[in-house]
Amino acid sequence: MTGKPVALVTGSSSGIGAAVARRMAAEGLAVVVNAVRSAEAGQELAASLPDARFVRADVSDETEARQLVEQVVAEYGRLDLLVNNAGVTQPIPHADLDAVTGDVWRTILGLNVVGTWQTTVAAVPWLRRSPGGGHVVNISSVAGTRPAGSSIPYAVSKAAVDHMTRLLAGALGPDIRVNAVAPGLIDTPWTQGFTEIRARVEATTPLRRVGTPEDVAEAVAGLQRAAYTTGEVVLVDGGAHLLI
């Protein structure tokens, strides 16, 4: 069993997840990097961090989510922080209702909502044993708060994650805190093609810039240190939520 606290960051081979993994390592945590498709990138990231491992798993699959947590505990003997970052979207104009099939709903909700739930449930027995108190941080989106987002199913999934965060915070205290970080437009491989949205963010939001993965990682680190905070959804969007 390691003496360090241990963080599991799902969907962490690139973008926000990778930034969170790097920040948690810098904060002194042992880190488990996870991905399902980008295994090579995940392995490279883990190799670049002290006391880190990579575990491939699809958290939308209940068995794989459970086995992921089991592998973390088998390796380190503990789990102190779970960051549910794994997610998926499909850009679809909100007015194009016909394009939103049942399969689109199942794919997006299956990872963003059900995957978050399954991984959290698997982690709870171990988070309860964390000497400093366990912590779950869900990566949501400003689309869960405002009528925006890459598609209606994506926005609905993030609204569900926000409410799940509050419900779990009430259910799991005092042993486990549950919070969420809700980014706005963040400069990641996912958003490279969002030229029009990027220009609008840079022109209209109070901070006049697109966010970085490190901005989100900073919020996660802040919540990890905020021992008297639970059930919060922290917006990291440059003030986009202030716009009508």
Active site residues: 154
**Interior CA angle at 42 toward 38 and 47, to 5°?**
155
CB burial string 124-161: b at 16+ within 10 A, e below: bebbeebeeebbbbbbbbbbbbbebbbbbbbbbbbbbb
Place of tokens 């299956």: 110
Q: How far apart are CA 16 and CA 130, in angstroms?
A: 25
Q: How far apart are CA 173 and CA 208, in angstroms?
A: 38
